C-alpha cells in the first residue's frame, strides 16, 4: 500500500485503502475464491510454513480479498492491525480467546448486544472467566467493579435501544490505571462517526453485518488494534480455531465501505429529522436520540462523535397495545430486529430483543412496554414519517 494513505481522509480511505492491483490492472478489487495457494518450490513452501517468508498459505490464515478489507477497516479506525471474522460474534469471541485466560475477570456494560451478554455470562464463564455487568454511563460503577484480575472492560456506545452513552476517554483512563484493556464494540457508529482508538480504547470490534455492509447482504465482523494484541494474539485464534471471513463476503464489505461516509451522514440526517418530528407528536411520551438537545448526554455525543447515528427509540403512551398498533400500522418499514440497512426497520424491544429479561430487569434497563426502536434507513424522510403516523395518529 502506498504511503499517501497517512494523509487521506475517511472518505478516501473507505474507497481506496488496502487495494493492491494484480498484474491484470483491474480497477475494482478482485475476489480470490481459492482455499489454498501454490508455492514455487518445496523450499518456498517450507519457508512460508516456517514463518521465514511472508505470503499466502491457506485462506483460513490469509486471503488477498479478506486482507484488502482488513487493511481498509484498520486504516479507517486508525489501527495497526485488523483481523476479519465470519460474524460480529466471532470477532468478540476471538478477542476474548486471544486476550483472556481462566481466572481473568471482565467488566462489561449491562447495555450490550444480548448475545454478547450470553457469551460472557454463559460460555466464557464455563472456562473460568468471570464477568460483572455495570451501568454504561456510571463511571463509579465501572471503577468499583474492577478487581486485581480484571483484564478487559467491554462496552458499546451509544447503547441499543436507549442510546445511552459511555465516555470512552474516561473509561480508557480508568482501564489503563488499573492494568486492563478497553474494548469498544463500534458497530452503531462505525469509524465515520466515532474513532475509539483515538479516544484511548485498545481494541475496536465490528459486526460488519450492520453498517459496514449497510445493505443487509452478508454476515461478517472485524477486530482492530495494535500489531501485538490483534496482529498476533487475535490473529492466532482465527488461524487455529477457524471463524474466518469468506473472500466473497469481504468483497461485499469492501463495496459497502466505499459508500460508508455518505451513508452514515445520511442515516444521521434522517434519524435527527425523525427524532425531532417524533418529539412534536402528542402520543409520543419520550424520544431517545443522542442528537436531541433533550438527550442527557448531548454534550458527550458532540465531544465523542461526529454525528448522532441512525438509531432512534421512542415511547408511545398506552404501553404494548399502542406500540404494537404503531408497528402493525406500517406498510413500508420492515418489522425486523436487524439494523444498519438502507431499509428502515422497526422493533418492539420488550417482546423481541429484550423479551428474555424479567419484568424487574426490564424496568432496571429502562425497556418499557411502550418503547419502539427504529433503525432509520435511507428512504425519503417524509415517507418514513408518513408510515409511522398511520399508527401514531390513532393513539
Ligand atoms: C449485531 C451485533 C453484534 C453481533 O454481530 P453478528 O454479525 O450478528 O454476529 C455485535 N454487536 C452489536 C452491537 C451488534 O449490533
Judgement on whether residues 191 and 340 belong to the same structural domain of the protein: no
Judgement on whether residues 205 and 85 belong to the same structural domain of the protein: yes
Reference 337, options 209, 248, 212; nearest CA is 209
Q: SS3 string of 72-97? A: HHHHHHCCCEEEEECCHHHHHHHHHH
Is residue 124 predicted with pLDDT exceeding 80?
yes
Is 206 a pocket residue for ligand 1 (Cβ < 6 Å)? no
Cell numbers found for residue 186 = 463500534
Answer with the one of 235, 257, 279 that is the final residue of a domain.
Answer: 257
Judgement on whether residues 71 and 19 belong to the same structural domain of the protein: yes
pLDDT digits (tens, 9 = 90+) for 296-355: 999 999 999 999 999 999 999 999 999 999 999 999 999 998 899 999 999 999 999 888
**191-205, 229-243, 357-371: the lowest-pLDDT one:** 357-371
In the chain, what percentage of residues exceed pLDDT 90?
93
Judgement on whether residues 205 and 230 belong to the same structural domain of the protein: yes
Closest Cα to atom 5 of ligand 1: 88
Answer with the one of 213, 234, 257 that is the final residue of a domain.
Answer: 257
- Cα(54) to centroid of ligand 1, in Å? 32
Edge-first strand listing for the sheet containing 150-156: 81-85, 221-225, 203-207, 181-185, 150-156, 105-109, 130-134
CA distance 111 to 331: 30
CATH of the domain at 363: 3.90.1150.10
**50-54, 179-183, 312-316, 359-363: the lowest-pLDDT one:** 359-363
Band of pLDDT at residue 47, cut at 50, 70 and 90: very high
CATH of the domain at 102: 3.40.640.10
- Cα(49) to centroid of ligand 1, in Å? 34
Answer with the one of 226, 257, 288 that is the final residue of a domain.
Answer: 257
- Cα(110) to centroid of ligand 1, in Å? 15
Judgement on whether residues 285 and 231 belong to the same structural domain of the protein: no
Residue pair 24/271 in contact (Cβ under 8 Å)? The answer is no
Is residue 362 predicted with pLDDT exceeding 90?
no
pLDDT digits (tens, 9 = 90+) for 58-86: 999 999 999 999 999 999 999 999 999 99
Closest Cα to atom 7 of ligand 1: 88
Judgement on whether residues 141 and 247 belong to the same structural domain of the protein: yes
Judgement on whether residues 81 and 166 belong to the same structural domain of the protein: yes
Judgement on whether residues 240 and 269 belong to the same structural domain of the protein: no
* Residue 383: domain span: 261-392
Judgement on whether residues 114 and 52 belong to the same structural domain of the protein: yes
Please compute, for residue 187, the number of CA atoms within 13 A of its CA located in the half-sphere on the CB side: 30
Cell numbers found for residue 349 = 424491544
Instruction: Quote the pLDDT of residue 1.
Output: 46
Cross-strand bridge partners of residue 82: 224
Judgement on whether residues 113 and 61 belong to the same structural domain of the protein: yes
Edge-first strand listing for the sheet containing 311-316: 284-288, 311-316, 371-375, 345-347, 334-335
Instruction: Quote the pLDDT of residue 330.
Output: 98
CA distance 129 to 201: 21
Q: Quick one: average pLDDT of 109-124? A: 93
Is 256 a pocket residue for ligand 1 (Cβ < 6 Å)? no
Average pLDDT, the chain: 96
In angstroms, what is the C-alpha Rg of the chain?
22
Judgement on whether residues 89 and 223 belong to the same structural domain of the protein: yes
Is 131 a pocket residue for ligand 1 (Cβ < 6 Å)? no
- Cα(119) to centroid of ligand 1, in Å? 12
For the chain, what is the domain count?
2
Q: Quick one: average pLDDT of 143-150? A: 98
E-assigned strand segments in the chain: 81-85, 105-109, 130-134, 150-156, 181-185, 203-207, 221-225, 284-288, 311-316, 334-335, 345-347, 371-375
Judgement on whether residues 49 and 84 belong to the same structural domain of the protein: yes
- Cα(311) to centroid of ligand 1, in Å? 14
Amino acid at each position: 500500500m502506498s504511503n499517501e494513505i497517512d494523509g487521506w481522509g475517511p472518505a478516501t480511505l473507505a474507497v481506496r485503502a488496502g487495494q493492491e492491483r494484480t498484474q491484470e490492472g483491474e480497477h475494482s478489487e478482485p475476489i480470490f475464491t481459492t482455499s489454498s495457494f501454490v508455492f514455487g518450490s518445496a523450499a518456498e513452501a517450507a519457508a512460508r510454513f516456517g514463518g521465514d517468508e511472508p505470503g499466502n498459505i491457506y485462506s483460513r490464515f490469509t486471503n488477498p480479498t479478506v486482507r484488502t478489507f482488513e487493511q481498509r477497516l484498520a486504516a479507517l479506525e486508525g489501527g495497526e492491525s485488523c483481523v476479519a471474522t465470519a460474524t460480529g460474534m466471532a470477532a468478540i469471541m476471538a478477542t476474548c480467546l486471544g486476550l483472556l485466560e481462566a481466572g481473568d475477570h471482565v467488566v462489561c456494560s449491562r447495555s450490550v448486544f444480548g448475545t454478547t451478554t450470553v457469551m460472557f455470562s454463559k460460555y466464557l464463564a464455563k472456562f473460568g472467566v468471570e464477568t460483572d455487568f455495570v451501568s454504561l454511563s456510571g463511571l463509579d460503577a465501572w471503577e468499583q467493579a474492577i478487581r486485581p484480575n480484571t483484564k478487559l472492560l467491554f462496552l458499546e456506545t451509544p447503547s441499543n435501544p436507549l442510546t445511552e452513552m459511555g465516555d470512552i476517554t474516561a473509561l480508557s483512563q480508568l482501564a489503563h490505571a488499573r492494568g486492563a484493556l478497553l474494548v469498544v464494540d463500534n458497530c452503531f457508529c462505525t469509524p465515520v462517526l466515532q474513532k475509539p482508538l483515538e479516544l484511548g480504547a485498545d481494541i475496536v470490534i465490528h459486526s460488519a453485518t450492520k453498517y459496514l455492509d449497510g445493505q443487509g447482504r452478508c454476515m461478517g465482523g472485524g477486530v482492530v488494534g495494535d500489531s501485538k494484541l490483534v496482529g498476533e494474539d487475535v490473529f492466532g485464534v482465527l488461524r487455529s480455531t477457524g471463524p474466518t471471513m469468506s473472500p466473497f463476503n469481504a468483497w461485499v464489505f469492501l463495496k459497502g465501505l466505499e459508500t460508508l461516509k455518505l451513508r452514515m451522514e445520511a442515516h444521521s440526517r434522517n434519524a435527527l429529522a425523525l427524532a425531532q418530528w417524533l418529539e412534536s407528536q402528542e402520543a409520543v411520551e419520550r424520544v431517545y436520540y443522542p442528537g436531541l438537545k433533550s438527550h442527557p448526554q448531548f454534550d458527550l455525543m458532540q465531544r465523542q462523535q461526529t454525528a448522532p447515528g441512525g438509531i432512534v427509540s421512542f415511547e408511545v403512551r398506552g404501553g404494548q397495545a399502542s406500540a404494537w398498533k404503531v408497528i402493525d400500522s406500517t406498510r413500508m418499514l420492515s418489522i425486523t430486529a436487524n439494523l444498519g440497512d438502507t431499509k428502515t426497520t422497526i422493533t418492539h424491544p420488550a417482546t423481541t430483543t429484550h423479551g428474555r429479561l424479567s419484568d424487574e430487569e426490564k424496568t432496571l434497563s429502562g425497556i418499557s412496554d411502550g418503547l419502539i426502536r427504529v433503525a432509520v434507513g435511507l428512504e425519503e424522510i417524509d415517507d418514513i414519517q408518513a408510515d409511522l403516523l398511520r399508527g401514531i395518529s390513532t393513539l
